Structure 1
Amino acid sequence: MVNPILLLRVTQGVLAFIVLGVAAYVVDGYDGAVDAANFLVFDSVWTFIALGYVVVTPMFFPNFHNRWAVLGVEAITMVFWFAGFVALAAGIDRLRCDRQGRRLHLGLLNGLLGQLH
């Protein structure tokens, strides 16, 4: 039987990958001028690192797995994503809502839904 938490982690990783792609596209399209998109690229990379710890340590390195460390990593990840979305919402009026703006909105909506597991 498949662990449901592992399925949520895989979904979290897929959504972080989607946000990474969309945010990187916006960073490239605006020549890195959108700080919120730059921060969302960081958020995605941080999520991959955090998922690496949260998923791999209980399976392969149980001596390094600590439930308080997992709680801390999850809390930091949540704060980073929240800060990224706040920064994006604060500066979204400066962006033109052309193809890049629409892609950013849809990608970030997917990322938000992934973080609400």
Structure 2
Amino acid sequence: MAVKPNQTTILLILRIFQSLFAVLVLALSSFVAHWYNTTTVVSSPSQINFLIFIAIFSILSVTSLVILPRVFSNRAVANPYILLGIEIKNVLFWFAGWVALAVFLSRLLFCRGSVCHAAQADVAFAAMAWICWAGSAGIAAVGVFKGVKKSSGNNVEVPSGGVKPEAVEKEAV
């Protein structure tokens, strides 16, 4: 019998990959920025600096998307529309970041050495991060726009895909 993964498991896996890709992009972008700032007379390209910002923003976003719904489940801080806005913002940022760096690299007259390979890997990992964020934003959008469904037992409304804390406690006992 095959086990079907539920929405929470899929989102957790996506969050792990989002964090992993953000750390990889942060490391690669920092290496490229350091190379530009120490070996050339020009500062690091804005595309690289933007990817550094996106990676930090993404790490903060993953942290908030994991913690806010669990800590502030009944407050406006964990509003599904706010959380969806964070997801969509990450999708747009990652798309803009990897496309901008890919265009920048394609227009270079020469690209060789470890810094070039790091920048190319940066594009690949940023594109994979974008795919992960697009997937989680799609899941979040379906959950938000699908509406609110009634939970079984009593008439407390729970957002789609959500679990009432009381239900988890009852099942554990």
Same fold by TM-score greater than 0.5: yes
After TM superposition, give the deviation of residue 71 of structure 1 in Å. Answer: 1.2
- Report sequence identity in percent: 25
Larger of the two Rg values belongs to structure: 2
Give SS of 2:112's match. coil
Runs of 4+ with deviation above 6 angstroms? none
| Structure 1 segments unaligned to the other structure (5+ residues) | none
Partner of 2:27: 21
Counterpart position of 2:67: 56
TM-score normalised to the size of structure 1?
Answer: 0.89
RMSD: 1.8
Higher relative contact order (CA 8 A, sep 6+): 1
Count of aligned pairs between the two proteins: 117
Residue in structure 1 matching 2:120, options 99, 105, 110: 105
Give the structure 2 partner of residue 89 of structure 1.
Answer: 102
1:80 is aligned, of 93, 98, 112, to 93
**Separation of aligned partners in 2, 1:96 and 1:73:** 35
Alignment of 1:59-70 (within 5 A): 59-62=70-73, 63=75, 64-70=77-83
Mapped contact 2:36–2:44 kept (Cα < 8 A): yes
Residue range with higher mean Cα deviation, 81-90 or 11-20: 81-90
Deviations 1:72-100 (A, max 9, x none): 11111111111112221232122623211
